[in-house]
Structure 1
Amino acid sequence: MDLVLFIQALLIGIFCYLGSVSSPWLMGVTGGYYVVGRPLVAGLIVGLILGDVTTGIILGVAVQAAFIATISTGGTQNSEITYAAYGGIALGMLAHASTGVTVTLSVGIGALGLILHNFMMVINSYWNRRAEQAANDGDAKGIVWNNAIYPQIGNFILRVVPVTLAVYLGQGFVSDALKAIPKDVTTMMNVLGGLLPALGIALLMNLLIREKAHFIFFLAGFVFIAFIKNNMIALTVFAILIAYIIYLVKQKAGSTVELEDEVI
């Protein structure tokens, strides 16, 4: 038994639990699901645990881009992002997989993780009925246990155990599988995995760009990064200045219209 790898896998599983949407320990979803549960942050954490921060962040950025436009409508999800982030990035790093293969692996793990997440919700419906019964009986202790303690135990087990076992036992399987897979198939996985972040960005643009004129700013930012200066800080400062100028122009235009209305 590789004790070091087991401890690393256990830590990754614990962070997968802390970053889940049902975990209350890091200020609820504020510090958990929306910070620790994001693939970009998960890449940093997994990189720190496995001793390769650079690779962790690179893979985290790629997986984050693939899931960047993922939204939950009415509580429904099409993938479980925390399983995808911690399970996929960790296995990708341990198996020395390429970025594209890691993204593809993360998407598959996220789909499997969604099954466990839905199973947890089914179990929680049982605790919910018990909590209602405890409320009817005036049992304050029963309300606390059935609302806070028992559901978190189930959430902990369904996240920490599968992710820990997957990382500890699966890294050898993934490495052997990648070696056994024909090169053409691996190339296809790289290509498809490379397209997923682009698809995520496209979906995000579809959500954010409401007017055709807004596409000009996206294109200007792309040209700036690709051909002029590869510096995100400089681009961010430049974008803030442009946004402020547009705000001033619109504010002045609105004041002018109001003044004309008063004159009329």
Structure 2
Amino acid sequence: MLLKAILIGIFCYLGSLSTPWILGTTGGWYTLTRPLVSGMIVGLILGDVQKGILIGVAVQAVYIALITPGGTMPADLNFVAYPAIALGVLSGADPKVAVTLAATIGIAGTIVFNFMMVLNSVYAHMGDRFVEKGDFRGIVLVNAVYPQITNFLLRFIPSFIAVYFGAPYIQHFVTATPKVVIDIMSVLGGMLPAVGIGILLKQVVKDVSLLAFFAVGFIAVVFLKLNMVALAMLGIAFAVMHYKYSSSNKEAIENEQ
């Protein structure tokens, strides 16, 4: 478990918002920290890929519309993606229960994120003094080295502690929790993905009539039991028809002809 906790802690750092090593935010925040990706990675590390992916998919739906406007972090997706999903896998609980645990840890993770921002402001003031002195080495340290050390410690240590020391406790917690509480957590965990999808639709859908496409997709998955390949082909067909026959695009196409 020691090596597994170390690996999860390292991936938590590599996927954080301020880590530059994997193509910046492209490879880290927008790839490694997506729960769909991290669920597979955590599953590989812990030896249960199927459970990791199932929890990752459920958690991804909750945070599918998460944005960080102006650096504001409503929930720390990085802690959701690694220590939270890891604890969900180790607990052996239903993915719906794991989603509830992940949401709680994600909100608590904002404390760590805000603390890191406070420390970075200290480095900024240190950098001002180095600039006045013309100390190039000091400028590099406060901009490229010290913040990464802080970021690593604040990501690795909580993740390591949560996975290494928290695994037995989370299993005991799930086992000892009354069934009615587990049922409540399952219901809440089942509702959270719907909230995430709802927020995404609110951001993306500009015309209420476009919800018809969402309804078609829902019917195709739930009632017609279409797989992802068939659903993707159906989505492409509807997208082409919508583009071709919508009023503005129709006029543009007719003018080209």
Q: Could you tell me the TM-score, scaled by structure 1's length?
A: 0.92
2:217 pairs, out of 205, 221, 224, with 221
Task: Within 5 Å, give how 1:27-106 maps onto structure 2.
Answer: 27-106=23-102
2:8 maps to 1:12: yes
Cα distance in structure 2, aligned partners of 1:230 and 1:50: 31
Match of 1:187 in 2: 183
RMSD of aligned residue pairs (Cα, Å): 1.5
Give the C-alpha shift of residue 83 in structure 1: 0.3
1:128 counterpart = 2:124: yes
Comparing 64-73 and 241-250, the one that deviates more: 241-250
How many Å apart are 1:142 and its aligned residue?
Answer: 0.8
Q: Percent identity?
A: 47
CA distance in 2, matches of 1:39, 1:258: 44
Deviation for aligned residue 1:227: 2.0
- The residue type equivalent to 2:20 in the other structure is P
Distance, in Å, in 1 between the alignment partners of 2:40 and 2:26 is 18
Shift in Å at residue 249 of structure 1?
3.1
SS at match of 1:78: coil
Measure, in 1, the Cα distance between the counterparts of 2:250 and 2:202.
29
Output the amino acid matched with 1:72. Answer: T
Partner of 1:212 in structure 2?
A: 208
Paired amino acid for 2:197: I
19, 22, 30: which one aligns with 1:26: 22
Long gaps (5+) in structure 2:
none
CA distance in 1, matches of 2:170, 2:218: 35
**Aligned amino acid, residue 141 of structure 1:** R
Aligned to 1:253: 251
2:166 aligns with 170
Matching residue of 1:262: none
**Offset at 1:85?**
1.6
- The secondary structure found in structure 2 opposite 1:174 is helix
Cα distance in 2 for partners of 1:175, 1:235 equals 37
Give the corresponding residue for 1:230.
226
After superposition, the C-alpha distances for 1:68-112 in whole angstroms (9 at most, x for unaligned) are 111112211111001012111101111111111111111111112
Residue 234 of structure 1 aligns to a residue in which SS? helix
- TM-superposed CA distance for 1:258, in Å, is 9.4
Unpaired stretches in structure 1, ≥5 consecutive residues:
260-264
Match of 2:147 in 1: 151
Q: Deviations over 1:51-73 (max 9, x none)?
A: 11111100000111111111112
| CA distance in structure 2 between the partners assigned to 1:248 and 1:192 by the alignment | 41
Q: In structure 2, how many angstroms separate the alpha carbons of the residues matched to 1:245 and 1:192? A: 37
Q: Deviations over 1:106-126 (max 9, x none)?
A: 111111211011101101111
Q: Which moved more, 1:249-258 or 1:24-33?
A: 249-258
Give the CA deviation at 1:46: 0.1
* 1:206 Cα deviation after fit: 1.0
Q: Which amino acid aligns with 2:75?
A: S
User: Residue 228 of structure 1: CA displacement?
Assistant: 2.1
> What number of residue pairs does the alignment pair up?
255
Give distance in 2, aligned partners of 1:9 and 1:245.
49
> 1:256 and 1:58 mapped to 2: Cα distance?
47
What letter is aligned with 1:59? I
The amino acid that maps onto 1:122 is: V
Tell me how far 1:229 sits from its aligned partner: 3.9
Q: Distance in 2 between matches of 1:159 and 1:255?
A: 52
Residue identity opposite 1:36 in structure 2: L
Structure 1 counterpart SS, 2:40: helix
